[in-house]
Amino acid sequence: MTGPAVTIRPFEDADWGVVRAIVEEVAAEGETYCLPAGLPEDRLRAFWLSDSATLVASVDGEVLGSAHMGPNRAAQGSHVGTASFMVSSRARGRGVGRALGEHVVDWHRRHGFRGIQFNAVVESNVAAVRLWQSLGFTIIGTVPAAFRRPSGEYVGLHLMHLPLGVPEAARPDSLAR
């Protein structure tokens, strides 16, 4: 990214208005999430703030993106993490997603996860697929025609994985569900 640096910090309640607007924008576009447009605020909030940690990314103090992450599954699956990302259309292509992605990978390593699994990366979201591959993720499978774009076209959902090689013993108990 050229220009000001991206700052990553934990989500604060005061960020919700801007983060909600980003989530609503992404849902309305209908290109990257299985998320209906027009959800009531309580359902949007439950969707985006449901994991162990939520972050915001800002440039010059303006929140332009957010990510949330935590265990992909409970109990016996809690050693593999997952994350979701949303970036405002005003900031796409400016390094906000990459900064969030790098931070999330580091967060999972620091918290002792053995890997990260993305369950549903829309194959037509070429920028996201390239970004995750550049960070070391591989596509380990694709569910054909599992996502319907607003145009009516059906495309696949990629399952992507990044091994982290962190021993289970390094995980804090507070993250095991």
User: Which position has the higher pLDDT, 94 or 30?
Assistant: 30
Which pLDDT does position 169 carry in this prediction? Answer: 57
DSSP assignment of 29-46 equals H-SS-S--TT--HHHHHH
Q: Which helix (H) or strand (E) holds 107?
A: helix 96-110
Chain segment 139-156, per-residue pLDDT in tens? 999 999 999 999 999 999
pLDDT of residue 52: 78
pLDDT for 1: 41
User: Confidence band (pLDDT; 50, 70, 90) for 50?
Assistant: confident
pLDDT at 177: 40
Predicted TM-score (pTM) above 0.95:
no
Q: CB neighbours (10 Å) of residue 3?
A: 9
Mean pLDDT of 90-118: 93
Highest CATH level, class, for 6-175: alpha beta
Query: What is the per-residue pLDDT for 18?
Result: 97
Q: Which of 43, 12, 39, 45 is nearest to 27 (CA)?
A: 39
Q: What is the DSSP string of 52-68?
A: SEEEEEEETTEEEEEEE
Question: Is a pLDDT exceeding 80 seen at residue 76?
Answer: yes
Per-residue pLDDT reduced to its tens digit, 164-177? 986 655 555 555 44
Helix, coil or strand: residue 20: helix
Burial of 31 (0-12, 13-18, 19+ CB in 10 A): middle
